[in-house]
A and B are shown apart, each in its own frame.
Chain A
């Protein structure tokens, strides 16, 4: 069946089987490989994307459920010219090692900071507890997210 939705600001229409998950649709049909697949059962968070501004697990959504939605992936949260403040903070704090969980972490952190720019460390940890990282041990990731808050606060 045909599904139409917006991805990173662009309207797309794809032809999918109902059983295709949104993450597979993004990765294989739209060639947006920044979103990663780590478990396919909704635990690890590597597949986190934004749907209508909210962080969701793309492995638990069917592509057909994205009809009419606004989807944003890590590619839509990036640009060629410079790192965003959140990305720069991840780099500054060495919050990245193998990079596999990173798009999911950044997308989740972006969703959190967009809604709660004054969140504290406990809240950051609570929210990120749905994103598994095997490399960093999380300390630097939490530091990076906290350090990026100022960029999200209204002037």
Chain B
């Protein structure tokens, strides 16, 4: 499982990085390497050139202000864990990231890498879609911002042009009274989700939910918001009954494929249960 041969470059600036990516067919970005290197070990990826972003320290910043949370593409899972501000600034992000992989991987893996890799069972793309994130990228034509919903196209396929580099993931500001929940089921701790639900909603003066966002991870080609489930929550006081109806709507809305870890039917049921439990967690009415 030795890697196929490739050229390697370690540019000092983002412009250089983009130019290098544009210079070759099959050039790829190397961030943490935690997803790319295993693919190369199995020779299912054979880039001609790896462009290492390790020198781009500007991409390592976590910025928290009134506009929200901005994660530089090279921010590692560990950096998110270590940043105490995020516990209140974005508790849903914090909760989701705690499920990512394992200790050693968290010291190298990056948010930008996860977003660009676009595994439908990964937590970060799911959080990006659920939270209406924007993904800032830089390419040969300059910089642009892509809505998360438009960014993920298919498993391992994104809207990035071949020479574009993700520079930042921007999450909207998080009001302190927001209710949220994150429930994931994986075979073992740290494994990819068999299915996961990321939910949040705001509550009006009468205790009813609005602005409901329910995101499903691992049950399709890309993470999606489950609008039918959101409709079950909107305008209601979230209780067990509401959570069960939303869960049922979530199951109804998805059509996952069979794979060696789970059948489509099982995943369909699983996402319903995850949505149900995430909502119960958000509402503070935990049943399990």
A contact set with B: CB distance below 8 Å: 1, 17-19, 21, 24, 40-42, 45, 48, 51, 54-57, 59-62, 64-65, 67, 108, 111-112, 126-127, 129-130
Chain A residue, CB-CB nearest to B188: A129
24 A–B contacts, CB within 8 A, in A order:
A18-B50, A19-B5, A40-B2, A41-B1, A42-B38, A54-B78, A54-B107, A56-B107, A56-B108, A57-B105, A57-B108, A59-B37, A59-B41, A60-B37, A62-B30, A64-B8, A64-B10, A65-B30, A112-B103, A126-B103, A127-B102, A129-B189, A130-B101, A130-B103
Chain A residue, CB-CB nearest to B108: A56
Main secondary structure of the interface of B (DSSP, over half): loop
**Among residues 19 to 59 in chain B, which have CB atoms less than 8 Å away from a CB atom of chain A?**
30, 33-34, 37-38, 41-42, 50, 52, 54
What is the CA–CA distance of A127 and B54 in the complex, to the nearest angstrom? 25
B contact set with A: CB distance below 8 Å: 1-8, 10, 30, 33-34, 37-38, 41-42, 50, 52, 54, 78, 101-105, 107-108, 188-190
B107 touches A55 (CB 8 A): yes
Residue in contact with B38 in the complex, picked from A19, A54, A60, A130, CB distance below 8 Å: A60
Question: What are the residues of chain A within 8 A of B6 when measuring CB–CB?
Answer: 18-19
Chain A residue, CB-CB nearest to B78: A54
What is the CA–CA distance of A111 and B102 in the complex, to the nearest angstrom? 14
Question: What are the residues of chain B within 8 A of A24 when measuring CB–CB?
Answer: 2
